[in-house]
């Protein structure tokens, strides 16, 4: 989610929850909050019906590693291929202790 709550001025973890339940006023309200609320409900509903669509009605492609098609939620939401790719690649290059422990490579 890229949309920033008028109440907090940031896009934070869990911000989508009041919007998904049709309560944009809990985010600070306003026209953008109403728009994002309607977009999220429509987009998630189409996903649950098995026909995922972007807010503009365009097909929402299946996620795959080469394209990394991602819905970027904002006042005008769009599907973007490989958003924040440089950041993702930098994090992927770092060792992850949880991964090493989970797959038995820790300490080897």
Q: What is the pLDDT of residues 17-41, one digit of tens each?
A: 999 999 999 999 999 999 999 999 9
Cα–Cα distance for residue pair 27/14, rounded to 1 Å: 11
* pLDDT at residue number 108: 47
* pLDDT at residue number 104: 54
Asked if residues 4 and 27 have their Cβ atoms less than 8 Å apart, the reply is no
pLDDT surpasses 70 at 101: no
pLDDT band at 88 (very low <50, low <70, confident <90, very high): confident
Question: Rounded mean pLDDT of 61-69?
Answer: 89
pLDDT surpasses 50 at 106: no
Asked if residues 74 and 2 have their Cβ atoms less than 8 Å apart, the reply is yes
Burial class from Cβ neighbours inside 10 Å (0-12, 13-18, 19+) for residue 31 reads exposed
* pTM as predicted: 0.74
Tokens 């992850």 locate to: 96
């Amino acid at each position: 989610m890229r949309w920033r709550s008028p109440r907090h001025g940031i896009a934070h973890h869990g911000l989508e929850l009041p919007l998904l339940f049709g309560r944009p006023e809990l985010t600070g309200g306003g026209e953008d909050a109403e728009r994002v609320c309607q977009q999220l409900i429509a987009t998630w509903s189409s996903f649950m019906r098995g026909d995922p669509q972007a807010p503009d009605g365009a097909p929402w492609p299946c996620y795959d590693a080469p394209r990394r098609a991602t819905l970027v939620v904002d006042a005008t939401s769009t599907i973007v291929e490989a958003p924040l790719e440089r950041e993702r690649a930098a994090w992927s290059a770092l060792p992850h202790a949880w991964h090493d422990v989970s797959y038995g490579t820790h300490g080897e």
